[in-house]
A and B are shown apart, each in its own frame.
Chain A
Amino acid sequence: MKFFPLIWGSLKRRKLRTALTVSSIAAAFLLYGYLSAIRSGIEVGIPIAGQDRLIVRHKISLIQLLPASYLGRIEKIEGVKQAVHSTWFGGIYQDAKNFFPQIPVNPADYLRMYPEFRLPPAQLEAWERKRTGAVVGRKTASKFGFKVGDRVPIQGTIWRTAGGATTWEFDIVGIYEGADPAADETQFFFRYDYFDEARMGARGQVGWYIVRVEDPAQSEAVARKIDEEFANSPAETKAESEKAFMQSFAKQVGDIGLIIKAILSAVFFTILLIAGNTMAQGVRERTGEIGVLKAIGFCNRLAMGLVLAESLLVAAIGGGIGLGLAWVLISMGDPTGGAFPVFYFPISDVVMGAVLVCILGLATGLLPGLSALRLQVATALRRL
């Protein structure tokens, strides 16, 4: 690019102004990265929610329990490939602020339903052998220092043992890892058979079912069939896709996507004005220089091209620094120290960021570029 020294030179000459513009663009993209990561934390699981998985819950609310006997009936429904159940345990480890979900499951079936949770086969075997065994996600394990062999006491807030105790004890037999950055590595799974036998009351009751359908295209029809199966029973159901279920769950926190979009729009609008104004000012000050270039034989389009290249370069440097810094800081971990089950910069958002950088560069260069294009040489030279 033989014109690079010319573009670079005009930026270098306004060092402070260029540095300020680049910094404000970098700050905007750092914020963009962080907000993306926060959204990934709140909408945990949604990006990888299986298209072929349904959640079946009590029609009235998620807190109402369903009979465990529904499992066999669901499995018999046409189009159902597999079904498992889960229940909210809602216990506390040492302190109420140490939140992580605990869920009683049937180990092998549950892991087959959620292949994104990876557990070494030997640990699954150990789990099958140990009635009080529990498996915990890597993130929670490292946060509380859980290791295989540890005995972990959990205070039940909903469930007591048959003996009336509130403390449940579990033996860690395995640590699972997520196969994808969006997979939740904070959960704590233990055996349903142990739970059902040891709990006081509500035996044979579970929280909800997860159903895998044979053909994702048929999932709506299957959901309807499941609801029909239990219609007019004491415990009617509501079946919906896992994605819809998670989205309605995330919406309870507020429409995060919308809030983030609103914040970012305001930020980008401001940056557009700041960078656009700086660029316009820079070109105005160089009216004479642009006139001289045209006198020398630079055509109108080249004059505009130089301005656009300059604004793109500023946006690319600022955006590159911002997105790069966001990437590094985000990969260093969740700044809240674990309030989010996952915290990462989704690749799709990185790509979107790069697109925004280009749009910003072109938009800020457009008007000054056009005035460079239209500049009359004789008029420009008279102003010198």
Chain B
Amino acid sequence: MNDSLVRIENLSKEFQRGSEVTPVLAGLRLEIRRGEFLALMGPSGSGKSTLLNLIGGLDRPTRGSIAVGEDRVETLSDSALTAWRARHIGFVFQFYNLMPSLSALKNVELPLLLTHLSSSQRRKHAETALEIVGLTHRLKHYPHQLSGGEQQRVGIARAIVTDPTLLLCDEPTGDLDRKSGDEILGLLEGLNRQQGKTVLMVTHDPHASARASRIVHLDKGRLVQEAVS
């Protein structure tokens, strides 16, 4: 076993709308090592989210292969893919995407509802995750009662509560001011450094990508590597 976690070979993705075919990713190759904090940069519309979705099993590639650990993601059936996502992937979204009707604690518990954990165990795990992101004082708050930065912390807590193999973040600071954004970046950096989490973060902000251990650029459907920072 080598230390690469994600291996992408010859990956292509085209979107079809009627007879019109839009190629977004064309024959892409990428490897992410275990414990890496990789930033994925590129202009808007270059296919960053598309690539993230493919790695996370939210969408299917047109061609090519995606291996995460032992699993060949593109070969899994829909239901197997869903179960695989629940076990291996933690998503962090630009607009947090919390359930507005649930408290912070209940939001973080959400992925654990799919496990066999008892309600007290679920609660304990969720509290631990919220402690990691520094929100122990906001357990009972609802999303609309939290600031953007706090909501994103809840989003991160929800992503890490199942202890996933890979953390996929799509512009996690894109909707935040500089200060809150820095805090979130610090948090992701900490998860990467101290807990050894592998993180793939999409951003178009150089200030954000500077925190990563490696940066790749996506342009016109192809990847351009950049030196380790």
Contacts and interface: CB of A to CB of B under 8 A. Distances in A.
The residue among A9, A296, A378, A381 with the most chain B CB atoms within 10 A of its own CB is A296
Contact of B111 (A5, A12, A297): A297
A377 interface: yes
Contacts of A294: 82
A255 interface: no
Interface stretch (B83-91, B193-201, B206-214): B83-91
B58 A384 contact: no
A326 B99 CA distance: 37
Contacts of B102: 5-6, 9
Contact of A299 (B56, B79, B100): B79
Contacts of A13: 100-101
B31 interface: no
Interface string B85-117: 111000101010101111000100011011000
Nearest to B50: A378
Contacts of B87: 297
B106 A297 contact: no
A293 B49 CA distance: 18
B93 A300 contact: no
A260 interface: no
A299 B83 contact: yes
B165 to A, nearest CB: 13
Question: Do most interface residues of chain B lie in helix, strand or loop, or is the interface mixed?
Answer: helix
Nearest to B99: A289
A293 B106 CA distance: 13
The residue among B87, B93, B101, B110 with the most chain A CB atoms within 10 A of its own CB is B101
Nearest to A10: B101
B101 A377 contact: no
Question: Do most interface residues of chain A lie in helix, strand or loop, or is the interface mixed?
Answer: helix
B128 interface: no
Interface in A3-26: 3, 5-6, 8-10, 12-13
Interface in A274-303: 288-289, 292-300
Contacts of B158: 296
B78 interface: yes
B78 A296 contact: no
A97 interface: no
A129 interface: no
A2 B100 CA distance: 18
Contacts of A2: 113, 119, 122
B59 interface: yes
Contacts of A378: 53, 58-59
B163 to A, nearest CB: 13
Contact of A296 (B59, B111, B119, B122): B111
Interface residues of B, number: 28
The residue among B86, B87, B110 with the most chain A CB atoms within 10 A of its own CB is B110
A292 B102 CA distance: 14
B59 A9 contact: no
Nearest to B168: A295
Interface in A355-384: 376-378, 381-382, 384
B111 A381 contact: no
Contact of A377 (B59, B86, B100, B111): B59
Contacts of B86: 296-297
A291 to B, nearest CB: 8
Contacts of A377: 53, 58-59
A12 B101 contact: yes
B92 to A, nearest CB: 11
B33 to A, nearest CB: 24
Contacts of A297: 82-83, 85-87, 111, 114
A288 B98 CA distance: 10
A298 B79 CA distance: 10
A8 B83 CA distance: 25
Contacts of A289: 97, 99-100
Given A3-B113, A381-B93, A295 B58 contact: yes
A64 B101 CA distance: 73
Interface of B: 49, 53, 56, 58-59, 78-79, 82-83, 85-87, 91, 93, 95, 97, 99-102, 106, 110-111, 113-114, 119, 122, 158
Given A293-B110, A382-B49, 16 more contacts: A2-B119, A2-B122, A13-B101, A289-B99, A295-B56, A296-B91, A296-B111, A297-B82, A297-B83, A297-B85, A298-B114, A300-B79, A300-B82, A378-B53, A381-B58, A384-B95
Q: Give the 8 A-B CB pairs with smallest separation, nearest first.
A: A297-B86, A9-B101, A378-B59, A292-B97, A377-B58, A13-B101, A299-B82, A378-B58
